[in-house]
């Protein structure tokens, strides 16, 4: 569990992702897309689903979800200062731990070049990735496997 180990703090833009392995290819899903899927599947215990829904409500209340741009092309990233002793970080870790309990593999990915920024607020950005955003020279694709 994450609480038992120290998670390195990102120094770049970062996001929590769920890893799906398809043969040798790896796909990263948004942690929030995964939350929606697991709630719809009813695969959790009552108490865990209640905890997950409570976390989801907290994020809905405390994290802006802008609607004025092409969401399909943009990827959301937390800003570096969010990592560590913030409520957003703590809730993200709690969410990650709950998903891990049900077999989801999570990672924190980070980059210094997220792409063309199309949204920016106090804690997050949304960016349309550059072609090399996830290249070896432009980002640290895995900060820490949770």
DSSP string, 60-75: HHHS----SS-TTT-E
Q: Which pLDDT score, from 0 to 100, does residue 28 have?
A: 86
- The pLDDT, as a whole number, for residue 68 is 72
**For the chain, which ranges sit under pLDDT 50?**
1-4, 136-143
Task: Please give the pLDDT value at position 69.
Answer: 65
Taking each continuous run of H as one helix and of E as one strand, the counts in the chain are 3, 7
**124: domain range?**
2-145
CA atoms within 13 A on the CB side of 31: 27
Structural domain count of the chain: 1
Please give the pLDDT value at position 7.
Answer: 63
So what's the pLDDT on residue 78? 95
Q: CB–CB of 119/27 below 8 Å?
A: no
**pLDDT at residue 138, rounded to an integer:** 44
pLDDT score of 73: 82
At 45 the three-state DSSP class reads: coil
pTM of the model: 0.82
Distance of alpha carbon 103 from alpha carbon 126, whole angstroms: 28
């Amino acid at each position: 569990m994450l609480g038992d180990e120290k998670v390195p703090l990102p120094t770049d833009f970062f996001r929590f992702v769920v890893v799906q392995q398809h043969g040798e290819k790896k796909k990263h899903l948004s942690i929030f897309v995964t939350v929606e899927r697991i709630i719809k599947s009813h695969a959790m215990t009552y108490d865990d689903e209640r905890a997950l829904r409570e976390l989801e409500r907290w994020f809905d209340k405390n994290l802006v979800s802008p609607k004025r741009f092409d969401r399909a092309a943009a990827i959301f990233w937390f800003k570096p200062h969010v990592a560590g002793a913030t409520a957003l970080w703590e809730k993200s870790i709690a969410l990650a731990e709950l998903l891990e309990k049900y077999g989801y593999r999570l990672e924190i990915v980070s980059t210094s070049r997220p792409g063309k920024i199309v949204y920016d607020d106090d804690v997050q950005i949304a960016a349309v990735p550059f072609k090399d955003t996830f290249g070896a020279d432009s980002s640290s694709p895995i900060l820490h496997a949770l």
